[in-house]
């Protein structure tokens, strides 16, 4: 049977820690390899430097996080996490989680996926959805060859939100089948995904190829989309640890039972955990909104102010705290991180 955990962790509950960082370093990098598409990525990492911090990833609508630009990395090997943002998002969206994880000794790297990022909405790039998992593999390549930041090749995991959750599942071995999306859209069970079918090239046969990266030892999905395009058979063969977190309040036409629930249903019970955060919405996993964020966003793109909406009385900070607690605990076991 499906392993299901329904949790609401109190805001004051302490978060487990592993290898704490004195400070958080931050770098912007450009990745250009062979004939692959150019990538912009950012890296957060532990640092023992005492330079003044500055806010990273902030804009008029969203809060950023504190870090030191180009700080000296701490010595020693660190586990590596690669992050994947959602459709139309950017590396900024999960910066709050990156900060929490770097404080516990992880190196975190996040690219902007061309075509589906705030900074690049090129239609031709967006239609090459299979490139997203490959983006993460290329980021791993870059970090493993980095002589300044030392990462442990045996402790690599991937975390993704929304379309990023689809991306990390594919990276872990989930196989997409075009016919499943066609059937699903005919049944009208997933109108949001159907609306994006042409834009994301969901009929392209290249999506059906294996996108697995065997260096990934665990993955975390945060309210993913397009899950029902994965074949149950491929999900059943993924034996690395998986944490599937669903938003319990549906405001984006992505009901948990049809997305995260589908993924968790077919993953092996022994290696996967499914958690529903009842008062989280799809957008609760994004960064913190400033007090005037809704008005600013609505003025620029009417209807998008929904990204600042959560599903209950708790503040987004508390939902983030619960999520970070779940993720850090999961990774401590999955990657056997030691103090």
How many Cβ atoms sit within 10 Å of the Cβ of residue 290? Answer: 15
Gap between the Cα atoms of 191 and 228, Å rounded: 12
Gap between the Cα atoms of 56 and 331, Å rounded: 25
Task: Give me the tens of pLDDT residue by residue for the chain, a chain 339 residues long.
Answer: 334 333 333 333 333 334 456 799 999 999 997 788 999 999 999 999 988 999 999 999 999 999 999 999 999 999 999 999 999 999 999 999 999 999 999 999 999 999 999 999 999 999 999 999 999 999 999 999 999 999 999 999 999 999 999 999 999 999 999 999 888 877 766 667 777 888 999 999 999 999 999 999 999 999 999 999 999 999 999 999 999 999 999 887 778 988 999 999 999 999 999 999 999 999 999 999 999 999 999 999 999 999 999 999 999 999 999 999 999 999 999 998 443
Q: Which token pair is 203?
A: 């009929």
DSSP strand pairing (39-47 vs 23-31): antiparallel
Residue 145: name the closest of 103, 92, 109 by CA. Answer: 109
Phi/psi zone of residue 202: left (φ > 0), alpha (ψ -120 to 50 degrees), beta?
alpha
Please state the separation of Cα 225 from the chain's center in Å.
Answer: 12
Residue 166, helix vs strand vs coil: helix
CATH of domain 4-334: 3.40.50.1820
Please state the separation of Cα 271 from the chain's center in Å.
Answer: 19
């Amino acid at each position: 049977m499906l392993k299901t955990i329904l949790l609401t962790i109190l805001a004051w509950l302490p978060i487990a820690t592993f290898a704490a960082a004195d400070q958080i370093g931050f770098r912007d990098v450009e990745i250009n390899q062979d004939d692959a598409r150019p990538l912009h990525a950012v890296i957060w990492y532990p640092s023992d430097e005492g330079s003044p911090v500055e806010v990273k990833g902030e804009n008029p609508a969203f809060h950023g996080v504190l870090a030191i630009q180009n700080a000296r990395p701490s010595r020693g090997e660190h586990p590596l996490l690669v992050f994947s943002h959602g459709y139309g998002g950017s590396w900024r969206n999960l910066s709050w989680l990156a900060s929490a994880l770097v404080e516990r000794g992880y190196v975190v790297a996040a690219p902007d996926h061309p075509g589906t990022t705030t900074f690049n909405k090129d239609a031709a790039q967006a239609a090459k959805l299979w490139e997203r998992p490959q983006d993460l593999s290329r980021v791993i390549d870059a970090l493993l060859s980095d002589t300044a930041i030392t990462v442990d090749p045996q402790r690599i995991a991937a975390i993704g939100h929304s379309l990023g959750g689809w991306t990390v599942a594919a990276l872990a071995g989930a196989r997409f089948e075009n016919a499943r999306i066609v059937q699903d859209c005919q049944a009208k069970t997933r109108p949001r995904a159907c609306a994006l079918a042409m834009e994301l090239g969901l009929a392209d046969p290249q999506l059906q190829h294996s996108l697995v990266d065997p260096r990934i030892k665990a993955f975390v999905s945060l309210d993913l989309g397009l899950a029902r395009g994965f074949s149950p058979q491929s999900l059943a063969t993924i034996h690395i640890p998986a944490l599937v977190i669903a938003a319990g309040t549906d405001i984006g036409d992505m009901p948990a039972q049809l997305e995260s629930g589908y993924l968790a249903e077919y993953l092996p019970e022994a290696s996967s955990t499914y958690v529903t955060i009842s008062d989280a919405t799809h957008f609760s996993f994004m960064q913190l909104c400033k007090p005037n964020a809704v008005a600013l966003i609505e003025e620029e793109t009417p209807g998008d102010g929904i990204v600042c909406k959560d599903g209950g009385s708790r503040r987004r900070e508390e939902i983030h705290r619960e999520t970070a607690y779940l993720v850090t605990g999961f990774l401590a076991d999955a990657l056997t991180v030691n103090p």
